[in-house]
Amino acid sequence: MKNANKKYNIVTFGCQMNKADSERMAGVLEKMGFEAESDPNLADLVLYNTCTIRDNAEQKVYSYLGRQAKRKHKQPDLTLVVAGCVAQQEGEQLLRRVPELDLVMGPQHANRLEDLLQQVFDGSQVVATEPIHIIEDITKPRRDSSVTAWVNIIYGCNERCSYCVVPNVRGVEQSRTPEAIKAEMTELGRQGYKEITLLGQNIDAYGRDLPGSTPEGRHKHTLTDLLYYVHDIPGIDRLRFSTSHPRYFTERLIKACKELPNVCEHFHIPFQSGDNEILKAMKRGYTHEKYRRIIETIREYMPDASITADAIAGFPGETEEQFEHTLQLIEDMGFDLVNTAAYSPRPATPAALWDNQLSESIKSDRLQRLNRLVTVTAEARSRRYLGREVEVLVEAQNIKDPTQVLGRTRSNRLTFFPGKIEELIGKTVKVKITEIRAFSITGELQK
């Protein structure tokens, strides 16, 4: 084969979309004859799939890149690729900053990697950041897990949250057809995968760019319709989806989750702030009252459902009182997990230009207070598992304690228990919980 004996290494930053893109790009490289190499310093091709959601994510990329750029001076046939969201944001400027780069490619171009590399091997330095219609994936991703898999259902985001770079770097919404999604899922079921997470930055927007509407005037293809269409794929025991947007979240979706046995009782619904003025400035399109109603409705249908979210501390202009509204929401809702971050001004986003930015010390103080509360509430939620028998889908060995395996409950709690991975991988087993921590639980296998 053409690239035989050549080795590649992919370093992935950022969210599940990037992880899914990396798996597809790894699939392309392997189809081209490259072999995976875990040490970037031994690879012939190094690809950074980058994230720019906050400044520290972006800066991390530059420090990694610097090291490889140096190596290229000694090893000129090294191929250096920057993909993902920093690539899209910086484009040509990245080449000026790091002239050693061979290829700069935005997320919409992930499926075109072979084409683009061909141009590189023909002697060009390539920048691929123009918006394109994402072509259906024809190569098989090289997936990290053999048990759980991601399936993109909608790319991009049409929201304009005032702090967020995602619409700039991921482009406009592009939904895949229900048929293409089902075909990919069916193939995963055939290959022995047990769990699939459907992915979208705003997954509730699924289908609004596809043609067709119902007699009641709603879009023909909604996320709810899709769940009814793909919930019973042979072999796929568990179905998840992420990320939900409170603005578009419907009761119909909650009903579908309750009704369809394979759809897990876990919802990831970021609220970002518990204060209505801040939510308005963020352009989120809902109030904290609406958010609370969504969670209450979920709990009416599925009292044990787990709810996770994202929140931002120190948005421009946030007062102490407004921040306390966020703390209050967390106390009242009882989240299983909240991903938190201090606000970070991002290029080409409205909020970054406002003159009411908070100091780093206020932001980091609020972030710490937020994290303390999140740990306490997560631990309180973990406590409900103590003494209970839960269903765990076993995914891997526990690297820190090889006598244990790890998996997740349907509610997505990370669970450890003693066992042999060779016997248990991919199996759904009953585990009695004997020990809890804020973000994980431990138990014993039940026969």
Residues that bind ligand SAH (CB under 6 A): 53-54, 163-164, 166, 201-202, 243, 245, 270, 272, 310, 312, 341, 343-344, 346
Which lies closer to ligand SF4 via its Cβ, residue 18 or residue 202?
A: 202
Q: Which stretch binds ligand SF4 (CB under 6 A): 36-44, 89-97, 163-171, 232-240?
A: 163-171
222 to 281, contacts with ligand SF4 by CB under 6 A?
A: 245
Which residue among 201, 273, 382, 397 contacts ligand SF4 (CB under 6 A)?
A: 201
The residue assigned the tokens 């597809």 is 24
**Is 161 near ligand SF4 (CB under 6 A)?**
yes
The dihedral sign for the CA sequence 371, 374, 380, 383: negative
Which lies closer to ligand SAH via its Cβ, residue 10 or residue 338?
A: 338
Tokens linked to 44? 């012939």
The residue assigned the tokens 């046995």 is 261
Which lies closer to ligand SAH via its Cβ, residue 334 or residue 345?
A: 345
**Is 166 near ligand SF4 (CB under 6 A)?**
yes
Q: Quick one: what does residue 385 bind among ligand SAH, ligand SF4, ligand F3S, none, with the CB cut-off 5 to 8 Å set by partner type?
A: none
Please report how close the Cβ of residue 155 comes to ligand SAH at its closest, in angstroms.
Answer: 12
**Is 15 near ligand SF4 (CB under 6 A)?**
no
Task: Please state, in angstroms and rounded to a whole number, the distance separating the CA atoms of residues 169 and 172.
Answer: 9
Query: What single-letter DSSP state applies at residue 60?
Result: H
Task: Give the total of residues touching ligand F3S (CB under 6 A).
Answer: 13
| 251 backbone φψ class: left, alpha, beta (φ>0; ψ -120 to 50) | alpha
Q: Are 66 and 99 in contact (CB under 8 A)?
A: no
Tell me the residue type at 105.
Answer: M
Which lies closer to ligand SAH via its Cβ, residue 27 or residue 156?
A: 156
Which residue among 25, 32, 46, 51 contacts ligand F3S (CB under 6 A)?
A: 51
Question: Distances in Å between the alpha carbon of 231 and those of 239, 257, 285, 307?
Answer: 7, 10, 30, 21
Task: Please state, in angstroms and rounded to a whole number, the distance separating the CA atoms of residues 6 and 24.
Answer: 18
142 to 171, contacts with ligand F3S by CB under 6 A?
A: 165-166, 169-170
Task: Please state, in angstroms and rounded to a whole number, the distance separating the CA atoms of residues 374 and 155.
Answer: 30
Question: Distances in Å between the alpha carbon of 157 and those of 167, 175, 197, 433, 446?
Answer: 5, 10, 18, 40, 44
Q: Quick one: what does residue 54 bind among ligand SAH, ligand F3S, ligand SF4, none, with the CB cut-off 5 to 8 Å set by partner type?
A: ligand SAH
Dihedral Cα 318, 333, 14, 242, nearest 10 deg: -130
Which lies closer to ligand SAH via its Cβ, residue 54 or residue 427?
A: 54
Tell me the residue type at 401.
Answer: D
**Is 17 near ligand F3S (CB under 6 A)?**
yes
Which lies closer to ligand SAH via its Cβ, residue 107 or residue 270?
A: 270
Please report how close the Cβ of residue 269 comes to ligand SF4 at its closest, in angstroms.
Answer: 11
The 10 Å Cβ neighbour count of residue 69 is: 17
Q: Which residues bind ligand F3S (CB under 6 A)?
A: 14-15, 17-18, 51-53, 84-85, 165-166, 169-170
